[in-house]
Amino acid sequence: MPSTYTPIATQTLGSATSSVTFSSIPATYTDLVVVYNTGVTSTTNDYVRVNGDTGSNYSWTRLVGTGSAAISSRGSNDSKMIVGDVTTSIVTTQIVNIQNYSNTTTNKTIVNRSSAPNSAVTASVGLWRNTAAITSVTLLPDGTTWLSGSTFTLYGVKSA
Amino acid sequence: MSPLLQTFSNASAYAYRTFVAAGGDYESIATVTVGAGGASTVTFSTIPSTYQHLQIRGIMLSTTANHADVTLNSDTGNNYAAHALEGTGSAVSSFAGTSRANMFSIFYTPGTSTGVGGGVADILDYANTNKNTTVRSLRGTDDNGSGNISLISGLWMNTSAVTSITLTARGGTFTQYSSFALYGIKG
């Protein structure tokens, strides 16, 4: 059976950065997975954009447990897709699954899990209303910066 | 292979050597992509027992709001149980079932032309004949004003090794371009 779940690129930040982009992503895989371990300057939500699209072409639904409440909320006609909470030390771990990213027939769905141990646990789903193949992925915290030392790895998963 | 360029918002950029793993523990076993005629079921059969865990990844489309319910080894008896935690964007709910004929759904779609259901499901220790089989799933769909994100946990009350997995469209069919891929993870 063909081996897959291939690391495409990885980066450890050497300084605070407001966004991280993986670009020129080859179309040779079926799904993409981004795994990142991060912190931010001030606790916030973090988001995904694709193909540099900053238009109101995204929407999302999330499920959040804070320890004192279970919450579900959504965003419509948004400029980005939510992943989860990120806190001020590098303890947040997130996994973003970008399904069937290179097909040119369907809109694109991402399903995510976020663990911010001193903030919240989150499951989320996002939709990019565009059938284009995804060639770049941008990860960005809302209104703040990723801390130096944060790590991001992009994997490609290819089906038989 | 050209290096992958990564840019930062401070206008700096790095180029990274890309690489391919020489061999790995995560292998693609089979893929089913639904054709123009649609499909009411998708089955992965003759699954080798040589892995530790299985994973299903995919997308689901349909012309009606629809679920992909899971059964194992063609067992449609009341031998399943499941729990779910669900968020719809406006409400949180949880539900459970025992003595069920299937293990709940590991994919869901709103059945519109724009919404696409996505999910990742793990079938843990599937070949172990000393324990019942557990399946867990992260599944979700969003349609710009409606959505559903769920965590599913399922149990097959049978210690047999899993040799087949069937996804059944609860209503209607899986429509064209639905795609489900089975992977094996070595232990």
Query: Both tokens of residue A35?
Result: 């795994």
B49 touches B73 (CB < 8 A): no
Burial of B175 from C-beta contacts in 10 A (0-12 / 13-18 / 19+):
buried
For chain A, positions 8-27, list CB contacts with chain B under 8 A.
8-11, 15, 17-25
Q: Which residues of B touch A71 (CB under 8 A)?
A: 87, 92
Query: Both tokens of residue B56?
Result: 């299903």
Burial of A63 from C-beta contacts in 10 A (0-12 / 13-18 / 19+):
buried
| Closest Cβ–Cβ partner in A9, A59, A105 for B4 | A9
Give me the count of residues in chain B: 187
Q: Is pLDDT larger for residue A103 or for residue B187?
A: A103
Determine the average pLDDT of the residues in A129-137.
98
Q: Is pLDDT larger for residue A90 or for residue B174?
A: B174
Determine the average pLDDT of the residues in A133-146.
97
List C-alpha distances in Å: A38 to A92, A140, B75, B79, B183.
5, 11, 43, 42, 28
The residue of chain B with its CA nearest to that of A108 is: B116
The reply to whether residue A123 touches residue B120, judged by beta carbons under 8 angstroms, is: no
Q: In the structure, what pLDDT confidence band is assigned to residue B12 with cuts at 50, 70 and 90?
A: very low
A42–chain B Cβ distance below 8 A for any pair: no
pLDDT for the residue numbered B20: 37
Determine the average pLDDT of the residues in A94-113.
97
Angle at B184 between CA B182 and CA B185, to 5 degrees: 140
A79 — alpha (psi -120 to 50), left (phi > 0) or beta? alpha
Determine the average pLDDT of the residues in A135-146.
97
The reply to whether residue A63 touches residue B91, judged by beta carbons under 8 angstroms, is: no
Query: Both tokens of residue B86?
Result: 């669900």
B100 vs B168: CA distance, rounded Å:
14
Determine the average pLDDT of the residues in A144-152.
97
A138 touches A49 (CB < 8 A): yes
pLDDT for the residue numbered B22: 38
Determine the average pLDDT of the residues in A38-56.
97
